[in-house]
Amino acid sequence: MFKDMPRESLYQFARQQVPCVGFNVRRATRLVTQFYDKVLAPSGLRSTQYSLLNVLFLTDELRMQDLALILAMDRTTLTRNLRPLIKRGWVKVSMGSDRRARLILLTSRGRDVMKKALPYWEQAQAHITERLGTSNWDRVMGELHKISIIAEDGT
């Protein structure tokens, strides 16, 4: 029944039958993640890895707790996501000035993989943002920010 349904009709069905913010945001997130994963595949990175590495690329190094806060991840999930990046030599963890603090930094190999992935990310980003248009993109980003704040305030 749903397999042959046009995408717009499927979206409308999901939106009307399951009018849950969590469901619809997660559904959109899964589809966007699958799209970015497909476009980033030639670089060897998944979209989740790209996002994490990109934050480090922009900041050089961060305390683990700050990286977790930026990514809205608990430390356990962040540690699990960092393991394969550390194993590949893209990320390094070192001790901070406070022995309890861990510093996460992007290695030169990590910078190289980011430079390789950037054109693929730009392609994926342009595919979505150009179709949305600048004003819609800005509006969507603003609304996502509002949803994030509302959800964070509720916990």
Which residues does 49 contact at the CB level (< 8 Å), separation at least 6? Answer: 81, 84, 85
CA distance 123 to 107: 25
Question: Contacts for 16-25 with beta carbons within 8 Å, 24 or more apart?
Answer: 21/147, 25/147
The pLDDT, as a whole number, for residue 105 is 94
CA of residue 67 relative to chain centroid, distance: 13
Each residue's pLDDT expressed in tens, for the chain with a length of 155 residues? 667 778 777 777 777 777 788 888 898 899 999 999 999 999 999 999 999 999 999 997 899 999 999 999 999 999 999 999 999 999 999 986 777 788 999 999 999 999 999 999 999 999 999 999 999 999 999 999 999 999 988 86
Q: What is the pTM of this model?
A: 0.83
Q: What are the structural domains, with CATH classification, of the chain?
A: 7-153 (1.10.10.10)
CA atoms within 13 A on the CB side of 71: 26
Q: Encoding tokens for residue 90?
A: 């893209």
